[in-house]
Amino acid sequence: MCDGWTNMNGEGLLNFIVATPAPLFHSAVMTEKEREDHCYIAGKMIEVIDDVGPDKCRLLNTDNAKAMRLAWEKVRQIYPHIATIRMCSSWA
């Protein structure tokens, strides 16, 4: 799971959670100016997938922001076996 946030100082963050099946915090990345850049976000997603092991990843869950949806396409180009879904609005 990946979600973007802005902290109290207005700085962008990407948080990554791995479900194993219980949620496990993986990492947080300061995005700075790249927080809306889908190529940057996709690159960070791919780093997490590579760290966890692509064979262990089956689903990428994010919010429905445009940058996230565009990042899904980049991830699926490299890992077509990974499905993507958006979080329910009641979760975000």
Per-domain residue ranges for the chain? 2-86
From the list 21, 39, 28, 38, the residue with the least C-alpha distance to 6 is: 28
From the list 46, 50, 27, the residue with the least C-alpha distance to 38 is: 46
For 26-59, write each residue's pLDDT tens digit: 999 998 777 778 999 999 999 999 999 999 999 9
What's the CA gap between 63 and 40, in Å, rounded?
16
pTM score of the predicted model: 0.86
Judge whether 18 and 41 are in contact, CB under 8 Å: no
